[in-house]
Amino acid sequence: MNHEDMNKLLKPKSIAVIGASATPGKIGYTVLENLQKSGYQGPVYPINPSATEILGMKCYASLADVSGSIDAAVMCVPVKLVNACAEDCGKKGVKGLIVITSGFSEVGRKDLEDELIATAKKYGMRILGPNIVGTLSNSDKMNASFAPFLPLDGKATLVTQSGALLIAMDAATYTRRVGFDKMVSIGNMCDVDIADIIDWLNDDPNSTCTSLYIEGLKDGRKFIKSGRASKKPIIALKSGVSAHGAAAAASHTGSLAGAAKVYGSAFKQAGVIQASDLDNLFDRTLALSLMPPLKGENLLVITNGGGVGVLATDAAERYGIPMKFAPKDVQDEMKKHMPEFGSAKNPVDLTGMAGTEWYTESVRFAISHSWVEGLIVLYCETAMTNPLEIAKGIKQAIDEAGQKDKPVTVSFVGGEKSAAAMAWLVENGVPAYGAPDLAVNAMAALREYALLRETAKEPSYKPNDAARKAAMKIISAARADGRDALTEIEAKQVFMAYNLPVTTTELAKSEDEAVALAKKIGFPVVMKIVSPEILHKSDAGGVKVNIKDEAACREAYNTIIKNAKAYKADANIHGIAIQEMAPWGTETILGSTNDSTFGPTIMFGLGGIFVEVLKDVTFRVAPVDKVQAVEMFDEIRAAAILKGARGESPRDRKALAETVEKYSNMISDLEDEISESDANPVLVYEEGKGLKVVDARIILKKK
């Protein structure tokens, strides 16, 4: 990405407004007026052949009439004129197109958008939009949009896919007291996308946190890459998280992979913090834009009221940063700033008698103490104390302690005086919230950021050409047969190419062959129907386990064939799979989908017949390595079962992690071939005893 070009688009030194209008209420008028009102310093060139002057600015008939150079052009013309104007811009040497005009891919006119992209490419221009509100920057005194004013000044940057939300959030910054330096409406992202903005912001001294409203990404992997490389915290609110395409999915994984889960995992892998709703986006943005990450788990809470202290304690546990008792020397010191009946344990309860001095002294001590890694200061409004004075005392203590790498969040519970005190705190760089759990949630975001910085790393992965070649033989044969579903036997052969521990499985085409194979493999065996049209074999009465001898084998053979024919009369039956009977183990599931946004995505969870009911599964965009595999094990609700719960010995998580890594390599290598797959169940044994994949399924991409 060319940084200079992005600067010309987002921090232009001169701007043309194409489609400038002299009629108040028109976008071409509003944009001009906004540039003027925001105090934009560079030259602004209104372009409109039928006006000579608008808002006191000289108006030009065409770009060619402008003698000075132009960095960016804001397009407000009707959609049918955009491409011709873009051509003019290219000829004039404009580098950035801010295309407000709508009527492109969002209404099915991708052709117009493609033409715009082609023109931009031809002249080396970058495009923001189309279909946007524009872009706003406090540090550049630039409101190049039709949002009515610049946001409350601050240190965050908002990038949003919803223009309406930008305008609303812009106004809300003043009532919520959350400041932004920039707001960027990203629209259709035909060229510049969210990842490009994240990259560009790395070098922007005025922005410390990137706040995203996402409806849908186009290139999920590019996003993950830029997230990982970001030098600043990123927080995302994702909308549209209801499950999609689940009903039509052929595999377990397909039906379990809702958009929400895959996005959630991708955010984690990108090092992106999530917001649960719009309020939460504002609240977390405030803390992330003002405070450093919370490096450890030693959190101290100072309060003047027991109630808010307990609420904070509950919230701390809920948000994953449970409180601990403070060490003795901290408690001893704290006791000096409270009456007999106070509590120094943590939360430190200074009691309702606490005035500015006690607050100031205890906060100063707390931040300076080596045990304390983060501090939450709570205050309940009382008749005896002055909220603003307390706020000033807190800020003074923070400054005097001089510890810039320890985060502090504050909550004042009370009325107008408390609200004013919190506004003062925020203006002075200290995030403050109207309820204790909000201050804790903000602190949790700072902890999540610290943790994500450590875990959101590129996994080790290199394609395995030999395995891929072996797998392709099986896949090509199935395709030649006109199929996109592999049989269990074929799927297991692909798995085997990647060294996945599958049960020995062979195909019998007659009763006698079945008996011979069963003897070769050794009783007891498992017998299953092999038909590309019967994917869920048990449903068709197509699985018989624990076949102990020849007589049972013959009987099972005939029963399975009969059941299969009853289930689907015209099913193409390849025969019966005879396989070793694996000993009982903990049933887990591994699966994959090929997500339209993120590509190959791996799933892990507790398996067995209840997998769709319990939905105890987790996802990662592939590839993942062993380290990330273990993170996945710890994420499911049944994590404790793998660790050895209720007298059970711990399961072989090491072997399982290796299997997850191999599986993820398989779906990555075969990205162009595999649409969905699963291994259900994977039976996991106790530590040191490995695991067995007893069932395998692969659905190919349609070609």
Kindly list the residues in this chain that would bind ligand ADP in the complex (CB under 6 A).
503, 526, 528, 536-538, 543, 545, 579, 581-582, 681, 694-695
Report the C-alpha gap between 643 and 290 in whole angstroms: 39
337 binds, among Mg ion, ligand ADP, none (CB under 5 to 8 A by kind): none
Question: Which is nearer to ligand ADP, 179 or 585 (by Cβ)?
Answer: 585
**Closer by beta carbon to ligand ADP, 35 or else 564:** 564
Of 332 and 539, which CB lies nearer to ligand ADP in the complex structure? Answer: 539
Nearer to Mg ion, 182 or 528 (CB): 528
Calculate the alpha carbon distances from 526 to 545, 582, 626 in Å.
4, 9, 31
Rounded least distance, CB 649 to ligand ADP, Å: 20
Q: Please tell me the total number of residues recorded for the chain in this structure.
A: 703
Cβ 584 to ligand ADP shortest distance, Å:
8
- Which residues, 6 or more positions from 605, have their beta carbon under 8 angstroms from its beta carbon? 256, 588, 589, 611, 615, 616, 617, 618, 636
Q: Which is nearer to Mg ion, 141 or 574 (CB)?
A: 574
Number of other CB atoms surrounding residue 78 within 10 Å = 10
Minimum distance from residue 612 beta carbon to Mg ion (Å): 12
Output the six-digit token pair for 103: 């009527």
Residue type, 267: F
Give the count of alpha carbons within 13 A of 183, CB side only: 33
**HSE (side-chain half, CA atoms, 13 Å) at 194:** 31
Residues 6+ apart with CB under 8 A from 610: none
Contact in structure between 528 and 488 (CB atoms under 8 Å): yes
CB of 176 to ligand ADP, least distance (A): 51
**Residue 536 binds which of Mg ion, ligand ADP, none (CB < 5-8 A, kind-dependent):** ligand ADP
Residue 538 binding result from Mg ion, ligand ADP, none, given CB thresholds of 5 to 8 Å by partner type: ligand ADP
Residues contacting 277, CB < 8 A, separation 6+: 237
Write the DSSP symbol of residue 649: P
Taken in order 93, 96, 101, 107, the sign of the CA dihedral is positive
Query: Of Mg ion, ligand ADP, none, which one does residue 676 interact with (CB within 5 to 8 Å by kind)?
Result: none
Select from Mg ion, ligand ADP, none the partner in contact with residue 581, using the beta carbon and a kind-dependent cut-off of 5 to 8 Å.
Answer: ligand ADP
Question: Residue holding tokens 């398989």?
Answer: 666
Query: In whole angstroms, what is the distance from residue 350 CA to residue 523 CA?
Result: 73
655 binds, among Mg ion, ligand ADP, none (CB under 5 to 8 A by kind): none
Interaction partner, residue 437 (Mg ion, ligand ADP, none; CB < 5-8 Å by kind)? none
CB of 232 to ligand ADP, least distance (A): 46
Cβ-based neighbours of 400, under 8 Å, separated by 6 or more: 364
Question: Which residue stretch of 18-26, 194-202, 461-469, 693-701 sits at the interface with Mg ion (rule: CB under 5 A)?
Answer: 693-701
Q: Which CB, 152 or 543, lies closer to ligand ADP?
A: 543
Measured from the CB atom, the residue of 446 and 547 that comes closer to ligand ADP is 547
Q: Which is nearer to ligand ADP, 283 or 506 (CB)?
A: 506
The span from the CA of 376 to the CA of 347, in Å, is 9
Q: What is the nearest approach in angstroms of ligand ADP to the Cβ of residue 619? A: 21
Cα dihedral 432/436/439/440 (nearest 10): 170
Q: Least distance to Mg ion from the beta carbon of 289, Å?
A: 48
Number of Cβ within a 10 Å radius of residue 637:
13
Distance in Å, CB of 679 to ligand ADP, minimum: 9
Residue ranges of alpha helices (H) inside 257-348 are 259-270, 278-290, 306-318, 328-335
Residue (101 or 503) nearer to ligand ADP, CB: 503
Helix, strand, or coil here: 663? helix
Query: Count residues contacting Mg ion (CB under 5 A)?
Result: 2
- Closest approach of ligand ADP to the CB of residue 508, in Å: 14
Nearer to ligand ADP, 77 or 543 (CB): 543
Binding at 387: pick from ligand ADP, Mg ion, none (beta carbon under 5-8 Å per type): none
Q: Give the distance from CA 680 to its chain's centroid.
A: 27
- Phi, psi (rounded to 5 degrees) for 371: -70, -35
Q: How many Cβ atoms from other residues are within 10 Å of residue 671's Cβ?
A: 14
**Of 104-112, 354-362, 450-458, 691-699, which part binds Mg ion (CB under 5 A)?**
691-699
Rounded least distance, CB 506 to Mg ion, Å: 18
Show the site string, 108-147: x = touches Mg ion by CB under 5 A, - = not.
----------------------------------------
Q: Residue 370: how many CB atoms within 10 A of its CB?
A: 9
143 binds, among Mg ion, ligand ADP, none (CB under 5 to 8 A by kind): none
- Position of minimal CB gap to Mg ion: 695
Give CA–CA dist 526/548, Å, rounded. 9
Q: Nearest CA to 188 among 131, 239, 115, 109?
A: 131
Closer Cβ to Mg ion, 658 or 695, answer by number: 695
Say which entry of Mg ion, ligand ADP, none residue 192 contacts (CB below 5 to 8 A, set by partner kind): none
Q: Show the site string, 523-562: x = touches Mg ion by CB under 5 A, - = not.
A: ----------------------------------------
Residue 392 interaction partner, one of ligand ADP, Mg ion, none, beta carbon < 5-8 Å per kind: none
Which amino acid type is present at position 206?
N
Q: Rounded CA gap, 528 and 62, in Å?
A: 75
Of 2 and 538, CB closest to ligand ADP: 538
Closest contact distance (angstroms) between CB of 583 and ligand ADP is 8
Least distance in angstroms from the C-beta of 590 to ligand ADP: 13
Q: Please, what is the minimum distance in Å from the beta carbon of residue 536 to Mg ion?
A: 8
Partner in contact with 543, chosen from Mg ion, ligand ADP, none, beta carbon below 5 to 8 Å by kind: ligand ADP
First to last CA, the chain: 33
CB contact set of 36 (below 8 Å; sequence gap of 6+)? 44, 55, 57
Question: Which of residues 268 and 528 has its CB atom nearest to ligand ADP in the complex?
Answer: 528
Q: Is 695 in the site for Mg ion (CB under 5 A)?
A: yes
* CB atoms inside a 10 Å sphere around CB 592: 30
Q: Which does 435 bind (CB under 5 to 8 A by kind): ligand ADP, Mg ion, none?
A: none
Smallest distance, Mg ion to C-beta of residue 695, A: 3
Q: How remote is the C-alpha of 495 from its chain's centroid?
A: 30
Distances (CA, A) of 656 to 277, 495, 502: 35, 15, 13
Residues in 650-689 at the binding interface with Mg ion, rule: CB under 5 A: 680
Residue ranges binding Mg ion (CB under 5 A)? 680, 695
